[in-house]
Structure 1
Amino acid sequence: MMSKGLKEHIESLLGLKISSVMSVSGGDISQALKISTSADQFFCKYQAGEEGYAILKAEKVGLAALAGSGKIKTPEVIGLSKTEDGAFLLLEYIESKSKGEKEMIAFGSQLAELHQVMAETYGWETENYIGSLLQKNTRMGGWPGFYTYCRLLPQLELAKRAGLLSEREVPLADRLESRLGEICSASKPSLVHGDLWGGNYLISEDGTPFLIDPSVSYSHPGMDLAMSKLFGGFSASFYEAYQEASRVSFPTPEEIEVYQLYYLLVHLNIFGVSYASSVRSIMKRYF
């Protein structure tokens, strides 16, 4: 569950002896652990491999950006460190509870407020990650171009190289950008979580929403909404609260599908062919 070397490394960082370690959910591409000491509990994410430190560093930066907005909570970062064969990120442990209507209303409102933190261009200071995959963040002034060249094309090329999509199935860049210009609503670049499915937020015991495991950028706010709807969606009260607090129009059903294409491509490239039919269906319908 936890190597002796990793345990000693964390104990040195904390200045505390670890009394117990338990695996918890949240480890699709990494190992997620709840660490208990005599003083407190902590969440540890361990990422093996050469890119482990870079992936977790990007997560730390993303958490800081979201927390720095002052609009929504994230767990406090305790430390980030390299190990012999990877890296670990140590966070405050948030005891969570079931999501009630009151909490989802607060979450919807706070996400809308987060999306009101804006920039002049789409992108981010550096490349970061979505899951284990590199996420390109070249600064660009137009959303159709950014979504084409920094989101869809890199994932389409990965899928093509892996034999998950054929050459003829991948639309040309000009076609993608042109169609996106027709489909996408106007919006200023907004600070987004970037990977907002149901496993990437928590409701603490006192009812406070927390965002975790971000893939941040200044992007179209519809990206967070599209991802939130991909695997069943959040509660109706969440979306109602978001719309009430938001200063931008809610994405159309067509936009939602087009933005979900990015996340389906990511899943295709990480988890394999089970996502291919959904990817093909959206590309055939819109591109």
Structure 2
Amino acid sequence: MIPNSFKTYLTKHFNENITQISPIHGGDISKAFKIDTATNSYFLKLNNRPDAKALFQAEAYGLNSIAHTNTIKTPEVLVCDRFHNTAFLLLEYINSKPSSGNDFKRLGTQLAQLHGCTSDTFGLKLDNFIGCLPQSNKHYNDWASFYFNERLLPQINLAKQKGLLKNAECPNEKQIETRLKELLKAVRPSLLHGDLWSGNYLISEDGTPYLIDPAIYYGHHEVDIAMTKLFGGFDTSFYNSYHSYFPITPESSDRLEIYLLYYLLVHLNLFGSSYHSAVTSILQKQF
């Protein structure tokens, strides 16, 4: 639970007494709590990893960046700091509800509007994290080069270092680069959530979509759509709404699979061999 000294610190910040602290389960990286006072509720993340403050700062930057587009909401960032040896992130608490078809339709529309926010280059002015793994965001003018150097190659190399992939299971770098340059053409940089699975959005009680736990950068809009499909996909009304803004093209299926490969590699590196067959299947098929 939360140390009494930290409760005292939070009480001074809220300028009112805490009435209840409730653990929230489901996160793989940080401990999470709902903090209630007489007038408000807050969401608190705690983590004592050495890089935890940097991880939370990147998350806060992502939440604020998305919020500033005025396309889709994120919880308000209240405090990102360190208390003794523990980093913490304090956010507005969103009372949520199960998603209806209309909610998914609104989510699809607002995600498309987020993807309408563009940049001159791919990447971001700072690096961040995907899960707890570092994610480099160096600027590139060419999407295929960015995706190869900043996304696929680091995760493939990490998997090899961990003994999770063998050299014989991976195409050589030239094969990968050539395939990406064939397929990833004429891409416009879009602001991405970067880790959009079903656990990283909320629908508030009034039906407003919120995005949480972002790993933002400017990339191809289809990357976010690929991630939504990793664990079974969203409701069809989400995709129908989204694709009214960004239509599917004949190459979309292959691109989505290659974009999904990044997230499968991340899961392989984070959670181990249960993702091995999915990774090697795409590597063999696409390259």
TM-score when normalising by structure 2: 0.96
Q: Cα distance, 1:248 vs. partner?
A: 7.7
Identity, in percent, stands at: 45
Indicate yes or no: 2:172 matched with 1:175.
no
How large is the RMSD of aligned CA atoms in angstroms? 1.5
AA in 2 matched with 1:48: N
Query: 2:261 is matched by which residue type in structure 1?
Result: L
Q: Is the 8 A contact 1:53 1:81 kept in 2?
A: yes
Q: Deviations over 1:93-119 (max 9, x none)?
A: 000011011111111000011001001
Name the CA distance, whole Å, in 2 between partners of 1:247 and 1:257: 17
| Inter-partner Cα distance in structure 2 for 1:274 and 1:54 | 29
Any idea what SS the aligned residue of 1:23 has?
A: strand
Equivalent position of 2:28 in the other structure: 28
Shift of 1:155: 0.8
Letter in 2 for 1:42: Y
Which residue of 1 is the match for residue 93 of structure 2? 93
2:103 partner SS: helix
Q: Specify the code of the residue in structure 2 equivalent to 1:176.
A: I
The worse-fitting range, judged by mean Cα deviation, of 129-138 and 251-260 is: 251-260
Q: 1:75–1:91: 8 Å Cα contact kept in structure 2? A: yes
Gaps of 5+ in 1: none
Contact 2:42 2:93 in 1 (8 A): yes
User: Which residues of structure 2 form unaligned runs of 5+?
Assistant: none
State the shift of 1:120 in Å.
1.0
- 232-241 or 165-174, which deviates more: 165-174
The question of 1:246 aligning with 2:246 is answered yes
CA contact (8 A) 1:116 1:190 kept: yes
Separation in 1 of the partners of 2:152 and 2:49? 26
Aligned residue number for residue 155 of structure 2: 155
Q: Which residue of 2 aligns with 1:202?
A: 202
Per the alignment, in what secondary structure is the counterpart of residue 139 of structure 2? Answer: coil
Residues 45 and 89, structure 1, Cα contact 8 Å, conserved in 2 = yes
**2:143–2:185 CA contact under 8 A, matched in 1:** no
Inter-CA distance 251–119: structure 2 relative to 1 (3 Å threshold) = farther
Write out per-residue CA displacement over residues 237-283 of structure 1, whole angstroms, 9 at most, x where no aligned residue: 10000011337858621111110000001111111111111111111
Map of 1:211 onto structure 2: 211
The offset of 1:8, in angstroms, is: 2.6
CA contact (8 A) 1:143 1:220 kept: yes
Which residue in the other structure is 2:284 paired with? 284
1:232 corresponds in structure 2 to: 232
Report the alpha carbon displacement of residue 154 of structure 1 after superposing the two structures with TM. Answer: 0.8
Distance 1:166 1:5 in 2: 49
**What amino acid maps onto 1:180 in structure 2?**
L
Change (3 A) 1:238 1:84: same
Residue 3 (structure 2) pairs with residue 3 (structure 1):
yes
Partner-residue secondary structure (3-state), 2:19? strand
Residue pair 2:48, 2:85 contacting (<8 A) in 1 also:
yes
Instruction: Evaluate the alpha carbon distance shift between residue 170 and residue 7 of structure 1 in structure 2; reply closer, same or farther with a 3 A threshold.
Output: farther
Which residue does the alignment assign to 1:43? Answer: 43
Distance in 2 (alpha carbons) for counterparts of 1:163 and 1:5: 43
Distance 2:230 2:251 in 1: 14
1:79 match: secondary structure: strand
Q: Which letter maps to 1:219?
A: G
